[in-house]
Amino acid sequence: MLEEIGGFALRDVPTPKPGSHDVVLRVLAVGVCGTDFHIYDGSANYHLDSFRRPVPLRQHPLVLGHEFCGRVETVGDAVTRCMPGEVVIADQVLNCISQGRQPVCEYCLSGDSHQCEFGQELGITGPPGAFSDYVTVPAINVVKVPPNMSSLEAALAEPLACVGHSIERLERAQSRYQFAGAHKIRSVLVLGAGPSGLLFVQYLRSVIQFDGELLVADSRGGRLALARRFGAVTVDIRTEDLPERVHAHTRGAGIQCVIEASGSGRAIEIVPSVARRQASVLIYGSGHAGLSDGCLTPFQTAELHLITAAGASGGFDADGAPIAYRTALEHIGAKRIDVASLVSHRYADFSELQSAFTTDRKSVDYIKGALVRSEPA
């Protein structure tokens, strides 16, 4: 439990009991997300009261963890879509569909359930997440994991679903440069080769079959090596001037699509110096500390088309299951996306997991951490 900024504590709590439409999962694997880091260090607090004021951790301690896979332990008496012993992942958003609200809000109606007017997110906005032995979720939120997939791979379907949703928003945007259209995107720059940046590279190359110029900028050698393995040209910003490299690579034309996946304020400020006029700019990373005053003026003068994205919306199957999560599992199962290679640090229990927050994330070889407690039988 995160009981104060920078302060975890191990606590014994009652094992949750399912409501009639819920399932209790025994957590098998859970990823550590950048959002978890932001909540831990106090740079973000998404738990708000009815007046949209942040609720202090001391008032409501938070169990983090929203990228997870678990084995069904118990089910409510009205649950028929899964049974004890099955391995599943879950959409962590408690939306109108999963809460049985009628009528559903405008966001859930349009398939944008991550923005649900009445929604809550496990491990983020107050309800307990998966840094726990057990977690309770609505049965309608779960998707069964294929038998040949590890619990770690399945848990990382959540960040992949978020990336898929982001690309969909980019493709739907009415901007000059699109992946299909009169002005087809032929150059993409991904800022940041962390887990999200590396997923974007794979998604572009392997899912939407983008065959144009794909550059990735970062400062860590291991991350850049993975980006090259996944099909990108890399720029090491420790030794190379990014704008110079970009303009040399594009013969002065500039980048048509920039994906900001680092959460760095410096990355935001550098976008206008690498982007072509009226380029598409996807803001995916969060945090962006250190932004200087007036940084949006260059965006305005170049008429850059800004697209923002968060979460894993994407509509529902006929039975109410979240499409984005099912699709992410399909991409992993088909070997289009390699999620396991992104995990540089694995932890066996909760006491070990805390080192991801205190020391490991600062190491040069850190990409992503995950708690892996056991594999499905």
By annotation, the residues acting in catalysis are 35, 38
Evaluate whether 249 touches 214 at the Cβ level (below 8 Å): no
Tell me which H or E stretch contains 25.
Answer: strand 22-31
Pairing of strands 233-236, 213-218: parallel
Other C-beta atoms lying within 10 Å of the C-beta of residue 9? 10
Q: For residue 19, what is the DSSP state?
A: -
**What's the rounded Cα separation, in Å, for the pair 156 and 339?**
7
Q: Annotate 332-361 with b (16+ C-beta within 10 A) or e (fewer).
A: bbeeebbbeebbbbebeebeebbebbeebb
**What's the rounded Cα separation, in Å, for the pair 308 and 282?**
6
Structure tokens belonging to residue 234: 């890399």
One-character DSSP codes across 68-93 = EEEEEEEE-TT--S--TT-EEEE--E
Closest C-alpha to 38, from 257, 219, 287: 287
* Cα torsion through 181, 186, 192, 196, rounded to 10: 50
Q: What are phi and psi of 134, to 5 degrees?
A: -135, 150
DSSP H stretches of helix in the chain: 34-40, 96-99, 106-109, 151-155, 157-172, 195-202, 221-229, 242-249, 265-274, 297-301, 323-333, 350-358
Could you tell me how far CA 184 lies from the centroid of its own chain? 27
